Chains A and B, each alone.
Chain A
C-alpha cells in the first residue's frame, strides 16, 4: 500500500500470518493479535478484548497498534533485496530405504502412508510414458490465492507419480491434472475436498474401474492417480502444511484419494452425453475434469417415489458450506430410470431440478436479511412466503445460475468459462447392482486434455 500499516488478526493464525508476511517480502511486519475467535462475539466482549492485551505479546492492544504505526524502522526493516529460500537439489543425499521413508514423512513429502521411493530408474520409466521433455514446465500451483505459487516440470511430476504408486501408463492423466494448477488441499478454514472424473478412451486403455465399487479402493489406477493429486499438491504446489498452508479445521478424509473415478460412458442412456462432451471435447478425446466441494452423501434408500422426486427432495433440503452448487453421481441404472421418465439429457434433468427445488425457510431467511425486512413490511412475494412460516420451503432455487451471484473466480483457482445454466452437474458411474446414487456440494472447476500429455 505504501503507507505504514498494522494488520490485526486473531491469535489462531500466527503461523499463517508469519509465513505469509515472509513470503510477501515483509518478514518484520508489525502485527497486532486479538483473541480467537472474533466472529459472532457480542460488542461488550469485543470492548473487553480491545481494552486488554494482545494475547501473544502481552502488550496493551491499542498502544501496540499506535507503536506499530509510529516506532522508527530498523535498518533491516528498511532494507531491500531478496530473502533466503531453501536450496532444491535434484537428488537427495544417499541413505537406506528405511531411513529415506522416514525422511520423506518428516519432510512432509507424503500423505502419511508409505510411498514408493523415487529412484532415478523408476522416474525414468515413468517419463517414457510421455513425449514431453523432463525439463518442460507443466504449471504452477498455490494453496489458495493469498499464497505464493510453486512451479514444476514434467520430471518433478513424474517423481510424485512414482511415489503414489502409479504405473507409467497413468502418467499422461497425472500430467493433465497437474497442468490445471489446482491444489487438492485448498487452504481454507472450511475443509475442502476435490474430485476428478476421467473420460474417453484412456479409461479402458489403463483399466480404470467404471463398474462395481468405482468410488472405492479396488483399482490401482483410480486409487493411485487420486492419491498422486495430494502428493503433487503438497510437494509441487506448496500446500498441506497444517497451520501455514492448510487451515481446514477438521481436515477432509476425501483428500487421501480425491474421489478419482471414470465416468461409465457405456452406461449412459441414449442422449445423455459424457461429461467431457458436455464440456466441449470430442467423444474420442481423453479428458480429466476437476471439481471442488466439501462432502458427499451416499443415498442408499428405497422409496415409493420415482428417482427424480427423491433427488429433488434431497437437493431441496441439502445443506453444506457450498449451498449453491451440487453434483450428482448416478449409478447407470438410476440414469436409465430417469431417462425412461422423460429426462432426455443430463441438462434437461438438471434444469428440471433447478426449476423445481426451493430453499428451506430457515436457510433462505438467514441468508436474505433484506428480503426478510421487505417481507415484514408486507412486500410481495416475500410477505406471502413468510406467511407460510419461517420453516416453510421458499420457492427460490439455489441451483439456478440465472440471477444468482457469480462465484469468486479467484477462489476457484482456474475455473473454466463454459458454465452450465444450472449449478447442478451430473456424472454417471457404478456397477448397476442397485438404484443408488451419491450427491454432494461439488462444483465444476475445469477440464484438461490427457492426449496433449501423451
Chain B
C-alpha cells in the first residue's frame, strides 16, 4: 500500500472515530444557575364572615373611577336598588385616580357598611 493511500485511510478512520465523539459532546449534561429572584411569602387572609341576608343592611358600591366607566356603575347601582329594595345601596367614588388608595373610605365602610362592591376597569 502506497503511503498516500495509507494516509487517506488513516484520515477516514480517524474521522470515523471522531464523529461519535462529536455527537456525544452534545449530549454532555451541564449544570446552570437559576436566574429567578426570591418570591415573598404569601400570608393567607381569612375572608370576612358573610351575613345571611342583606335585608336592612348598607352596602357600599365603590367606583374606582376608571375612565369612561361611569354609565356601568350608575346602571349597576340602579339595578341593585330595584332588585333588592330592602338593602341600602350607597354609591361612592374612591379618591383620586384608579390606582390610588383611599384608607378613609375603607374606614367609613367598615364603620357604617355591612358589605362592599368594588368596581371596575377597562
Contact = CB atoms under 8 A, between A and B. Distances in A.
Interface of A: 1-10, 12-13, 22-29, 34, 36-43, 46-47, 49-51, 62, 65-66, 69-73, 77-83, 85-86, 88-92, 94-98, 100, 104, 109, 117-120, 123, 141, 145-146, 148-152, 155-156, 159-160, 163, 189, 231, 235-238, 408, 410-411
B42 A25 contact: yes
B67 to A, nearest CB: 6
Contacts of B50: 4, 69-73
A376 B89 CA distance: 36
Interface residues of B, number: 59
Give the residue among A8, A24, A119, A189 with the most B Cβ atoms within 10 A: A8
A9 B35 contact: no
Contact of A77 (B30, B47, B79): B47
The 4 closest A-B pairs by CB, nearest first: A8-B119, A236-B37, A152-B37, A150-B37
Contacts of A92: 31-34
Given A37-B122, A39-B68, A69-B50, A85 B41 contact: yes
Given A109-B35, A109-B36, A150-B38, 7 more contacts: A3-B109, A46-B76, A50-B75, A65-B117, A66-B84, A149-B40, A160-B35
B35 A159 contact: yes
B107 to A, nearest CB: 9
B51 interface: yes
B37 A156 contact: yes
B contact patch SS? loop
B45 interface: yes
B118 to A, nearest CB: 5
B24 to A, nearest CB: 11
A187 to B, nearest CB: 12
Interface of B: 26-54, 59, 66-69, 71-72, 74-76, 79-80, 83-84, 97, 99-100, 106, 109-110, 113-122
Nearest to B114: A3
Given A5-B116, A6-B117, A41-B71, A23 B42 contact: yes
B59 A69 contact: yes
B47 A26 contact: yes
Nearest to A139: B37
Contact of B122 (A13, A82, A411): A13
A283 to B, nearest CB: 34
B49 to A, nearest CB: 6
B80 A65 contact: yes
B122 A96 contact: no
A231 B106 CA distance: 38
Contacts, number: 233
Contacts of B110: 1-3
Contact of B32 (A3, A9, A118, A189): A118
27 contacts: A3-B48, A5-B115, A5-B118, A7-B117, A39-B69, A41-B71, A42-B71, A43-B75, A47-B75, A50-B75, A65-B117, A66-B54, A69-B115, A70-B53, A88-B39, A92-B33, A94-B31, A96-B28, A97-B26, A104-B35, A117-B30, A148-B39, A149-B40, A150-B39, A152-B38, A155-B33, A159-B34
Contacts of B39: 85-86, 88, 148, 150, 238
A78 B76 CA distance: 29
Contacts of A156: 35-38
Contacts of A34: 72, 120
Contacts of A73: 47, 49-50
A305 B122 CA distance: 43
Nearest to B84: A66
Nearest to A90: B34
A43 B28 CA distance: 65
A163 B116 contact: no
Contacts of B52: 70, 72
A123 B32 CA distance: 9
Nearest to B83: A62
Nearest to A26: B45
Contacts of B121: 9-10, 13, 38
A448 B53 CA distance: 56
A119 B99 contact: no
B122 A39 contact: yes
Given A4-B50, A34-B120, A80 B44 contact: yes
